[in-house]
Each structure stands twice: as C-alpha cells, then as structure tokens.
Amino acid sequence: MRAVVFTSPDQPVEVLDVDIAPPGPGEVKIKIAGAGVCHSDLHLQRGDWPHPAPLVMGHEGSGVVVELGAGVTNLAEGDHVVISWVAPCGTCRHCLAGREARCELAASVVLPGGVLFDGTSRLSRNGQTVHHYLGTSSFAEYAIVPASGAIKIRQDAPLDVVALVGCAVATGVGAVMNTAKVEAGSTVVVIGCGGVGLSVVQGARLAGASRVIAVDLRREKADVAATMGATDVIDASSTNAIEAVRDLVPDGIDYAFDAIGHTATTEQAIAMLGLGGAAVIVGLPATGARASFEPLALAEAEQRILGCNYGSVRPAIDIPIMVDQYMAGDLMLDELVSDRRGLEDAARSLDELRTGAPLRTLLIP
C-alpha cells in the first residue's frame, strides 16, 4: 500500500510502498477514508519526541473495516469506524476503572514502542520493520489497529470529516467534559485556536460556560472561535493576553486551557486563574520542556494544574456521542477542515502547520 513514511527529522517525509500484514488476533484492518494532520505529527517530524523509526505517520483517522483478525466479535466488515489512538487493553487497572486514556499497556508498550499490543508491527518494507505511530498510522491506504481502537459509529455520518473526532475533537471536548469537568456558568479561556483549541471552545459552549475567551496570535483564527462559541476574542499578537483577560474578567478565570503547549502559554494559563481556578495543559510541548509557577500563589488561591492526555476520553463511549453531536449540529467539524489533499501533500501540509496557518488538513488516501 501507499503510505507516508517518516525516517528522521533531517529527511522530508515521503510516500512509499509499504507492506502490510493481515490483522493478527484481536486486530482489524481498516480502509482509511480520511486522516487529519495534527501537531503530534509535526512534533514527531521535527524531532521533538524521540520515537523508533522508520514509521508510517498519522494518528487521527476514520474508515471502513475490511478484514477481521481471529477472535474479533464486536465489529463486522463494512462497519464505519473512527480510530482511537489509545486502544484500551481493557484489563489494566486504569481501563478497569474506566480511565482508558491512561491505559498502562498503551502508555508502556504501544505508544513509545511504535508497535501493537503484542510488541510487534504489521508494517514492513523490503523485509525491514516499519513502526506504527501511536498504534494507528493513518496516513496510508490501510491501517491495522487493535479492535478496541476501532470505534464503530453510525453509517450515515460523512466518513472523512469524522476522522477529526479521533484526536482533535476527542482531545478538546474531552478536556472540557472529562478532565476539567467545567460547570455551567464557569469562565473559560482557551489559548490557541487550532483544531484542538477550537474543540475546547465548542466543549465549553456545550458545557454552558458563561464566558469563553479565545486567544490566538492570528486574528483570523480567533475570529473562527467566535463562530464556534467564544464570547470574546483576544489577538495576542498585538496585546498582552494576561492583561486583556484581566480586563474582561477582573477576578480571574475558572478554567484556562493551554491548547498550544509552549512554556510561555502554560505559564500564561496559570497566571490567568482566579480563586479555585484550574489550568489545563492540553497542547503538548517537546520532551524536556519546563514551565514555572509560584507555589504560594497556587496554594493560597487553591488553584490546580491539570494534565490532559487525549481528553481523558473513554473512546468507545465518547467518540460515538461526539459523532452524534456533530450530526445534530451541536459540534462543528466541517468548519475545522482547511483543506482536503492526497497523501503526496503530507510534507507540504506539515510545513504549513508549522507556520500556524491552517486549522486542520485532511489527507484523503
């Protein structure tokens, strides 16, 4: 099959022919319909996160089940699915407690190793192993994933665009609903208005936040946030964002979401909080990045800093609900898609993401 292969940060990603083995026990093969280009692909490509290579990129995707491995009973050929890049093992203590986004097998074997549950890959090239990315590898014509990572959705949803639910939307909406548990009437700031940040904005609207302040360095992206539920927008290229937020909400903010994950934006999110406020780190920095805060101020104001991995989602429960919310008109997905392109445009799409211009580019194999 054709697939977008990453070899090293010094080398452009390229479309190559990759061999794909049949699905093993408990796995399924998916014909990819759409795959979103996410910042976590960019982090990998520019060497921010060490990872075994070569690998097939992509971790946000959707498609049709075309082949079942032995023992798979919860899916059938022809099912439409969104891929969850955390495929829950179902047996570790976090999965048993309903916190699948913390699955120990995913965190210790699948994600860092670039492999599936059994520690091996289904991908190869000229007899040499090619790794999976985040258990997914969706920038390709087909993907093999654990059955628990192929989330069945309704057949009438447009299949390419719902790929976004698999990462950006699950992460952003999940950060609001699951990680932070934003209450109705709360005040919310969202720093960064890309695919994840705009999903946080929409989640805050659905949660009934009274004030949703969107911050971005690009005015046009903050303006998109205003169409998705932001009550106020701040152009951080020309204003001090912390002061601008204080002008709007003098007592400080209940929930500040850092959807960028730079040291500066994490520190800004903490500085924006009021009494009892929580800063939620949703965007991801490079390995080893450090941010600072003043412990006395945090303690006296009973503030919290929350880490958020994959929106703390329960994939099999939350993903179909988010697809329903899209079909009901409560979640805007089409407006998040900047462009649809072929796999051969992956390198160009990653370059553009680096500039901060696009919202979400969908690759259509």
For the annotated catalytic residues, the residue numbers are 38, 40, 43, 59, 167
* CA separation for the pair 132, 24 (Å, rounded): 15
Q: Which of 216, 267, 271, 212 is nearest to 238 (CA)?
A: 216
Task: Find out whether 145 and 30 touch, Cβ atoms under 8 Å.
Answer: yes
Does residue 177 touch Zn ion according to CB under 5 A?
no
Of positions 68, 157, 167, 234, contacts Zn ion by CB under 5 A = 167
- Of all helices (H) and strands (E), which one includes residue 289? none
* CA separation for the pair 285, 117 (Å, rounded): 26
Residue 134 vs 249, nearer CB to Zn ion: 134
Does residue 282 touch Zn ion according to CB under 5 A?
no
Please report the DSSP string for 18-81 in residue order: -EEPPP-TTEEEEEEEEEEE-HHHHHHHTTSS---SSEE----EEEEEEEE-TT--S--TT-EE
Residue 333 phi/psi, 5-degree rounding, is -110, -40
Does residue 89 touch Zn ion according to CB under 5 A?
yes
Cβ of residue 36: shortest distance to Zn ion, in angstroms?
Answer: 7
Of positions 3, 4, 6, 40, contacts Zn ion by CB under 5 A = 40
Does residue 110 touch Zn ion according to CB under 5 A?
no
Contacts of 74 (CB under 8 A, 6+ apart): 147, 152
Cβ of residue 59: shortest distance to Zn ion, in angstroms?
Answer: 6
Cβ of residue 96: shortest distance to Zn ion, in angstroms?
Answer: 8
Does residue 272 touch Zn ion according to CB under 5 A?
no
* Coil/strand/helix, residue 200: helix
Residue 59 vs 221, nearer CB to Zn ion: 59
Does residue 121 touch Zn ion according to CB under 5 A?
no
Of positions 81, 83, 92, 224, contacts Zn ion by CB under 5 A = 92
| Contacting range for Zn ion; rule: CB under 5 A; set: 99-107, 153-161, 211-219, 294-302 | 99-107
Cβ of residue 105: shortest distance to Zn ion, in angstroms?
Answer: 5
Residue 95 vs 253, nearer CB to Zn ion: 95
Task: Find out whether 270 and 303 touch, Cβ atoms under 8 Å.
Answer: yes
Q: Which long-range contacts (CB under 8 A, 24 or more apart) does 125-130 make?
A: 125/5, 125/16, 125/17, 125/18, 125/19, 125/54, 130/5, 130/18, 130/54, 130/55, 130/56
How many residues of this chain interact with Zn ion, rule: CB under 5 A? 7
Does residue 163 touch Zn ion according to CB under 5 A?
no
| Contacting range for Zn ion; rule: CB under 5 A; set: 160-168, 175-183, 294-302, 357-365 | 160-168
Residue 140 phi/psi, 5-degree rounding, is -165, 170
Residue 95 vs 161, nearer CB to Zn ion: 95
Cβ of residue 5: shortest distance to Zn ion, in angstroms?
Answer: 19
| Contacting range for Zn ion; rule: CB under 5 A; set: 19-27, 103-111, 216-224, 299-307 | 103-111
Does residue 182 touch Zn ion according to CB under 5 A?
no
Q: Where along the sequence are the contacts to Zn ion (CB under 5 A)?
A: 38, 40, 89, 92, 95, 103, 167
